[in-house]
Chain A
Amino acid sequence: MTFYPAAAPPDGDRRTAKQKIAAYLEPWLYSAPVLILIVAIMLVPLALGISYAFRDIRLLNPFSGAFVGLKHFRELAGDGAFRGALVNTLWWTFSSVILQFLFGLILALLLNRPFRGRALAQALCFLPWAVPSFLSGLDWAWMFNPVVGPIPHWLYALGILSEPSNILSDPETAMWGPIVANVWWGIPFFAITMLAALQAIPKDLYEAAEIDGAGPIERFRSITVPFLAPTMAISILLRTVWIANFADLIIVMTNGGPADRTQIVASYIFTQAFRRLDFGYASAIALVLLVLLLAYSMLIVVLRQTMLTRH
């Protein structure tokens, strides 16, 4: 407890047992609703989901429900679509994160210097973040559609496409559709966090460096980068996990197609649960994804620890 009633005399704690219990319980009473919600609506289903991974649960089959051990995992090992989804997840996650981060950082640097109309420019640049993800997906799917969207015609005019076709229906290029939508939608996130970090750098550091004769590149390298590094590292790591789990854009834009070329693990789980209603198999895939993400997070924590001890 940080707070004791100021009225308590200095010669000892004279509160009654009842008051002590009440003081002990107080923080728990405030947190109780949140804890109950999380345990009942997130942890219980999580535990159930893990158990489903070892059971035969199909919604349309009332006789399913039996324990099947590792059957789903053996199936997974031979499931080509799943292996493809793993590769696609890496591709989707890392290209999205890298592009979001680079463009977000550049935007933050641009917005960090004062100019007339900065508040307006900032609000407009951050607006995509407020667009619901399903709508970003649909909007970009329409932009890529040669019937109503301009992009195929532009790409054709530039000579990149041999005819104004939909890149979402070409297995070779389809993944770029959701990635572009994701980058458009996610730039504001990085720009906002980076801008906050940039504004926390003391201005006199730059002035001192300028007096010492450091050029703009030198100043960026020796002041901006070291100050931003912790924010960059944390936001990139957290974002990576988040994007690996983010299936909305893919479900909306391509539904995993064509020929599973845009299927990521998260959208594959959704497809198994929602279209095939095979809850057991879906949960087995989800368990694998959970383990992979945990392994990734652990790896990052360990890396960070070794980096910290080295310095």
Chain B
Amino acid sequence: MTRKRIVLTVLHRLAILAYVAFALFPLFWLLKVSVTPTSLLYTEGIRLWPSRASLEHYAFVLTHSSFPTFFLNSTIVSASTAVIVTIVAALAGYAMSRFVFRGKYWIVGLLLLTQMFPLVMLIAPMFKMLSPLGLTNSLTGLVIVYVAFNVPFATFLMQSFFDGIPKDLEDAAMIDGATRFTAFRQIILPLTLPGIAATLGFVFTAAWSELLFALMLISGNQATTFPVGLLSFVSKFSVDFGQMMAAGVLALIPACLFFLLIQRYLVQGLTAGAVKG
């Protein structure tokens, strides 16, 4: 290796390190404050690690706050949303992938349109629509809203997975007398399992993060989701930094688990939902 090569390699590794540090530091800080005992928080200032770590904030958050309920609510909402969206999007994605029919381009256009307009625009009318149905302040109402918001991008995502599976498979099954739906269910779906898992992961993460509609639609403690709970905790007890950050770490756990699950499919997911983030 020439000198120039070595210098370039070192610069490259340093740049990568800088990116990794930038990506991880805020998360590291969250973790650090969450394990810092309150008595040390103000005296030790911005030390990188407290002289004594403790899990007292976690213990408090898990036993003396409503966060376990919020966590459960968010899990129910996100899991139901993910399952429903994936089923519905698998059907539509299959149609987009396998059929050529009049109206298909209108459907694609409609799905794209829903990704372009400001969702905040729907907050007020959504509240007005759901309130007489008794669906405000209810987890069911949230699931309905989240399902609709996530279905367009999940459809594109599922379509991209079906596109990767050869058509001959279900053609052969149908020659043998199976209906298309049977072929879809028994041959195509099992082959798409990794794609289904990725779609579940993407939708779960999106529903887990949703804040604005939950703020508008939920007002009682009973149906509060984690983001709303954390935000109201922050505005009420804005000095209990340790507890807030312990709760923040809890909110991070499912997101990180699903990140591991969908990591391999990020490219596909982001191109399908390019407009979604």
Binding site for B on A (CB under 8 A): 1-3, 5-7, 24, 26-28, 30-31, 33-35, 37-38, 40-42, 44-46, 48-49, 52, 57, 59, 106-107, 110-111, 113, 115, 121, 123-136, 138-140, 142-143, 147-150, 153, 184, 186-189, 192-193, 195-196, 234-235, 238-239, 241-242, 244-248, 251-252, 266, 269-270, 273-274, 279, 282-283, 286-287, 289-290, 293, 297
Measured between beta carbons, the chain B residues less than 8 angstroms from A59 are 127
- Give A106 to B11 CA distance when docked, in angstroms: 13
**Inter-chain contact B252/A147, CB cutoff 8 Å:** no
Is B185 an interface residue, CB under 8 A from the partner?
no
Number of residues of chain B lying within 8 A (CB) of chain A: 91
Q: Kindly identify, within residues 238 to 277 of chain B, every residue whose CB is under 8 Å from any CB belonging to chain A.
A: 241, 244-245, 248, 251-252, 255-256, 258-259, 263, 266-267, 270-271, 274-277
What are 15 A-to-B residue pairs whose CB atoms are below 8 Å? A30-B92, A34-B111, A124-B23, A127-B23, A130-B205, A134-B227, A142-B244, A153-B46, A241-B116, A245-B118, A252-B211, A266-B118, A269-B123, A273-B120, A283-B121
Contact pick for A121, options B20, B33, B120, B209, CB 8 Å: B20
In the complex with contacts A121-B16, A142-B245, A192-B120 CB distance below 8 A: no
B212-242 contact mask (Cβ, 8 Å, vs A): 1 or 0: 1001100000000001001100100000010
How far does the Cβ of B174 sit from chain A's closest Cβ, in whole Å? Answer: 7
Measured between beta carbons, the chain A residues less than 8 angstroms from B119 are 245
**Inter-chain contact B101/A1, CB cutoff 8 Å:** yes
- Give A166 to B147 CA distance when docked, in angstroms: 39
**Inter-chain contact A48/B128, CB cutoff 8 Å:** yes
Measured between beta carbons, the chain B residues less than 8 angstroms from A246 are 277
How far does the Cβ of B209 sit from chain A's closest Cβ, in whole Å? Answer: 4
- Give A121 to B17 CA distance when docked, in angstroms: 8
Binding site for A on B (CB under 8 A): 12-13, 15-16, 19-20, 22-24, 26-27, 29-30, 33, 41-42, 45-46, 88-89, 91-92, 94-96, 98-101, 103-104, 107, 110-111, 114, 116-129, 144-145, 147-149, 151-152, 155, 171, 174-175, 180, 205, 208-209, 211-212, 215-216, 227, 230-231, 234, 241, 244-245, 248, 251-252, 255-256, 258-259, 263, 266-267, 270-271, 274-277
Given pairs A31-B95, A138-B230, 14 additional interface contacts (CB within 8 A): A34-B151, A34-B152, A34-B155, A127-B24, A128-B26, A132-B255, A139-B26, A139-B30, A153-B46, A193-B267, A193-B271, A239-B274, A241-B116, A273-B120
- Give A49 to B118 CA distance when docked, in angstroms: 11
How far does the Cβ of A236 sit from chain B's closest Cβ, in whole Å? Answer: 11
Contact pick for B256, options A127, A142, A290, CB 8 Å: A127
**Inter-chain contact A125/B245, CB cutoff 8 Å:** no
**Inter-chain contact B114/A42, CB cutoff 8 Å:** yes
Among residues of A, the one whose C-beta sits closest to the C-beta of B29 is A143
Measured between beta carbons, the chain A residues less than 8 angstroms from B29 are 139, 142-143, 149-150
In the complex with contacts A1-B99, A153-B46, A266-B120, A34-B92 CB distance below 8 A: yes
**Inter-chain contact A139/B234, CB cutoff 8 Å:** no
- Give A56 to B122 CA distance when docked, in angstroms: 17
Measured between beta carbons, the chain A residues less than 8 angstroms from B255 are 130-132, 135
How far does the Cβ of A270 sit from chain B's closest Cβ, in whole Å? Answer: 5
Contact pick for B121, options A140, A149, A274, A289, CB 8 Å: A289
Measured between beta carbons, the chain B residues less than 8 angstroms from A143 are 26, 29
**Inter-chain contact A132/B91, CB cutoff 8 Å:** no
Contact pick for B116, options A1, A30, A293, CB 8 Å: A293
Measured between beta carbons, the chain B residues less than 8 angstroms from A242 are 275-277
Measured between beta carbons, the chain B residues less than 8 angstroms from A138 are 230-231, 234, 244, 248
In the complex with contacts A2-B98, A147-B241, A186-B277, A33-B230 CB distance below 8 A: no
**Inter-chain contact A38/B152, CB cutoff 8 Å:** yes
Contact pick for B171, options A3, A30, A139, A290, CB 8 Å: A3
- Give A28 to B104 CA distance when docked, in angstroms: 9
Measured between beta carbons, the chain A residues less than 8 angstroms from B231 are 134, 138, 252
**Inter-chain contact B20/A6, CB cutoff 8 Å:** no
In the complex with contacts A27-B99, A127-B23, A269-B121, A34-B89 CB distance below 8 A: yes
